[in-house]
């Protein structure tokens, strides 16, 4: 019993005995006992049994292995999730036999997005709208694209969810990873160059080489599971803990859902990281995606009402709507031409109702576009289902609410005639007044 207690105490005092090892070597030259034997009054002798020779190396290997897997105890409830595919989903080319007359430009500076599409030969309808909510007495609004699938009668939205700060995440990983500079040298160097950048600067673009290193960093963090750890080990990534930290913080921001799936998807001229999950609380299907070519990217979100075909509908919509898409700074540059030449499209309405630099002719041009667009879309809504018409009216009402606020803020002199025509169109739709839009009512025939 004394020997066993002595062994336990020796284990606890092992760091001290390692420091005193030179003294033990000195004492051995005079045939003296080691310091540990003198302190504990017992002498340790090695056993030459076969069992001990087998057990000791096996135990050592187990301890080394457990040390490698120990970081997985960090936030173990999210250990095996999410389901990850690191192979990017490529865009399927659109058939060249499509009717080119159906293709239109859609784009918004506010949404940092533009595209050229026929909306799957008119299967989908999109309209500008807003999310509006009241917080502490203030009205908060942000632009969205309202979506309608005519084939299945499903509604959805496309919007910016929030801006994502890779800079803060990478800083956490970098501070916890001594080998970060060795594995990601270019990313580390460019990261250090942003050290004095203020938090309000949004565009932190990085070079293609740094993008590739960030891509590797992200894929390694997604592989940080017990099953994927061997792949990390093959890459020489012995320290798993920094990748687990990145994975945890990444999905704390994106949302930790039990049924979540992660993949990489090409949309237009950008490769995005995409998360897919069913939101059982709100009964919705959600996709969130963001690029990794900058350190403060935008997180886009597509939301569909839950349906047995919601994922398939989202895939078809995305394949058509985002096929020729451009994003971010490219849209900012393109929008300068829109504002200079007063080039409008349905989604850019959310930009121009608050535009402050109209020339007199430019304002007249926008007012005419606004009237023509909503008259034609209002007229067409009578050929759609009643559900779509309700959705369209709601979009018009939200646009009008924000338009009123913008007019007060910017003092843009929109004509009373334009405002009245807009409200008259909303009223005619609410009253189902088909004659206002020049539509022949079948019931009157």
Lowest mean pLDDT among 8-12, 217-221, 432-436: 8-12
Lowest mean pLDDT among 36-40, 130-134, 230-234: 36-40
Alpha-carbon span 253 to 289, nearest angstrom: 12
Looking at mean pLDDT, say which of 76-80, 81-85, 207-211 comes out highest: 207-211
Q: Which of 147 and 276 is assigned the larger pLDDT?
A: 147
Burial class (CB in 10 A: 0-12, 13-18, 19+), 141: middle
The predicted model gives 5-28 an average pLDDT of 58
Alpha-carbon span 326 to 276, nearest angstrom: 22
Query: Residue 228: is its pLDDT beyond 90?
Result: no
Task: Quote the pLDDT of residue 321.
Answer: 94
Residue 309 sits at the vertex; the CA angle it makes with 305 and 315, to the nearest 5 degrees, is 90
CB 144 within 8 Å of CB 131: yes
pLDDT digits (tens, 9 = 90+) for 266-319: 899 888 888 888 776 677 888 999 888 777 888 999 999 887 778 889 999 999
Alpha-carbon span 146 to 78, nearest angstrom: 34
Alpha-carbon span 24 to 408, nearest angstrom: 86
Q: Which of 206 and 63 is assigned the larger pLDDT?
A: 206
Query: Residue 442: is its pLDDT beyond 50?
Result: yes
Full-model pTM: 0.78
Closest CA to 66 of 209, 297, 219, 229: 229
Average pLDDT of the chain to the nearest whole number? 80
CB 159 within 8 Å of CB 143: yes
Task: Quote the pLDDT of residue 92.
Answer: 59
For residue 130 the two structure tokens come to 């807003």
φ, ψ at 91 (rounded to 5°): -70, 145
CB 149 within 8 Å of CB 156: yes
Q: Which of 37 and 217 is assigned the larger pLDDT?
A: 217
Buried-state track 170-207, b at ≥16 Cβ within 10 A, e below 16: beebbeebeebeebbebbbebbeeeeeeeeeeeebebe
Task: Quote the pLDDT of residue 444.
Answer: 47
Sign of CA dihedral 403, 404, 405, 407: positive
Alpha-carbon span 76 to 225, nearest angstrom: 10
Task: Quote the pLDDT of residue 353.
Answer: 93
Q: Which of 368 and 20 is assigned the larger pLDDT?
A: 368
Quickly count: other Cβ atoms within 10 Å of residue 396's Cβ: 23
Residue 240 sits at the vertex; the CA angle it makes with 255 and 79, to the nearest 5 degrees, is 40
Lowest mean pLDDT among 63-72, 91-100, 406-415, 421-430: 63-72
The position carrying tokens 């350190």 is 295
User: 3-class SS at 205?
Assistant: strand
The predicted model gives 45-53 an average pLDDT of 57
């Amino acid at each position: 019993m004394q020997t066993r207690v002595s062994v336990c105490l020796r284990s606890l005092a092992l760091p001290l005995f390692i420091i005193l090892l030179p003294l033990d070597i000195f004492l051995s030259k005079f045939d003296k006992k080691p310091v540990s034997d003198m302190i504990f009054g017992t002498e340790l002798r090695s056993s030459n049994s076969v069992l001990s020779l087998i057990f000791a190396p096996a135990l050592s290997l187990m301890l080394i292995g457990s040390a490698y897997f120990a970081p997985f105890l960090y936030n173990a409830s999210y250990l095996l999730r999410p389901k990850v595919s690191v192979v990017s989903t490529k865009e399927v080319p659109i058939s060249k036999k499509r009717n080119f007359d159906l293709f239109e430009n859609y784009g918004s500076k506010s949404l940092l997005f533009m595209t050229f599409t026929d909306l799957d030969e008119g299967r989908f309808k999109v309209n500008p709208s807003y999310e509006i909510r009241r917080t502490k007495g203030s009205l908060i609004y942000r632009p969205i694209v309202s979506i309608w699938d005519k084939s299945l009668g499903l509604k959805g939205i496309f919007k910016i969810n929030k801006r994502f700060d890779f800079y803060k995440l990478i800083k956490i990983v970098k501070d916890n990873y001594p080998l970060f500079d060795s594995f990601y040298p270019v990313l580390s160097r460019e990261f250090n160059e942003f050290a004095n950048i203020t938090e309000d600067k949004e565009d932190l673009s990085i070079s293609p080489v740094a993008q590739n290193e960030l891509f590797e960093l992200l894929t390694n963090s997604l592989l940080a599971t017990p099953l994927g750890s061997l792949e990390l080990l093959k890459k020489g990534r012995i320290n798993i803990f920094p990748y687990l930290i990145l994975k945890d913080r990444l999905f704390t921001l994106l949302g930790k859902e039990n049924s979540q799936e992660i993949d990489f998807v090409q949309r237009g001229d950008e490769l995005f990281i995409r998360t897919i999950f069913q939101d059982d609380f709100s009964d919705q299907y959600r996709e969130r995606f963001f690029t990794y070519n900058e350190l403060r990217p935008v997180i886009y979100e597509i939301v569909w009402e839950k349906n047995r075909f919601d994922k398939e509908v989202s895939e078809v919509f995305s394949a058509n709507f985002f096929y020729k898409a451009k994003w971010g700074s490219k849209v900012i540059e393109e929008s300068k031409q829109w504002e200079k030449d007063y080039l409008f499209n349905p989604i850019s309405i959310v930009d121009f109702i608050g535009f402050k630099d109209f020339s007199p002719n430019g304002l007249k041009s926008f007012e005419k576009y606004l009237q023509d667009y909503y008259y034609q879309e209002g007229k067409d809504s009578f050929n759609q289902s009643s559900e779509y018409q309700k959705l369209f009216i709601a979009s018009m009402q939200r646009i009008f609410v924000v338009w009123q606020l913008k007019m007060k803020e910017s003092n843009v002199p929109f004509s009373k005639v334009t405002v009245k025509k807009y409200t008259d169109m909303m009223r005619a739709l609410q009253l189902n007044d088909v004659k206002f839009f020049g539509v022949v009512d079948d019931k009157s025939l």
